[in-house]
Amino acid sequence: EVQLLESGGGLVQPGGSLRLSCAASGFTFSNYAMSWVRQAPGKGLEWVSAISTSGGAAYYADSVKGRFTISRDNSKNSLYLQMSSLRAEDTAIYYCTKNTPAQDYWGQGTVVTVSS
């Protein structure tokens, strides 16, 4: 059974940093590109970032480019999102997703709140 378990969310002040993690199981992690998608309170889905199978290619939404860094460790079956210079508008549930290439599995999400 495919499982994606996000962690690392929390309350952070504007300008602060946070690192999200996603532990994957139930599939060969290194064979699949992965993505992060977020959803602000009461709003729609926003694709944030994606990474290739090897980690050699990474892609970002304009809204986070230069502030967020996606990475993966295939030896640990883990996906990461390093977030810095956080803003109030980054407040959202962050979902880790598997790309097949459509996003066929989603984690339960981790909540990030940016507030002073």
Partner 1 sequence: DIQMTQSPSSLSASVGDRVTITCRASQGISNYLAWYQQKPGKVPQLLIYAASTLQSGVPSRFSGSGSGTDFTLTISSLQPEDVATYYCQKYNSAPRTFGQGTKVEIK
Pairing assessment for the beta strands 3-7 and 103-106 based on DSSP bridges: unpaired
- 110 part of the interface to partner 1, by CB under 8 A: no
Pairwise CA distance, residues 52 & 38, whole Å: 19
Q: State the SS3 of 65-97.
A: CCCEEEEEECCCCEEEEEECCCCHHHCEEEEEE
Beta carbon of residue 83, minimum distance to partner 1 (angstroms, whole number): 17
Beta carbon of residue 13, minimum distance to partner 1 (angstroms, whole number): 28
- 26 part of the interface to partner 1, by CB under 8 A: no
Give the interface segment with partner 1, choosing from 13-21, 22-30, 41-49, 84-92 (CB under 8 A).
41-49
Beta carbon of residue 94, minimum distance to partner 1 (angstroms, whole number): 12
Pairwise CA distance, residues 90 & 82, whole Å: 13
Q: Which of 47, 55, 78, 82 binds partner 1 (CB under 8 A)?
A: 47
Q: Which of 22, 80, 86, 103 binds partner 1 (CB under 8 A)?
A: 103
Q: Which of 2, 45, 88, 111 binds partner 1 (CB under 8 A)?
A: 45
- 61 part of the interface to partner 1, by CB under 8 A: yes
Pairwise CA distance, residues 50 & 60, whole Å: 7
- 11 in Cβ contact with 116 (< 8 Å): no
- 1 part of the interface to partner 1, by CB under 8 A: no
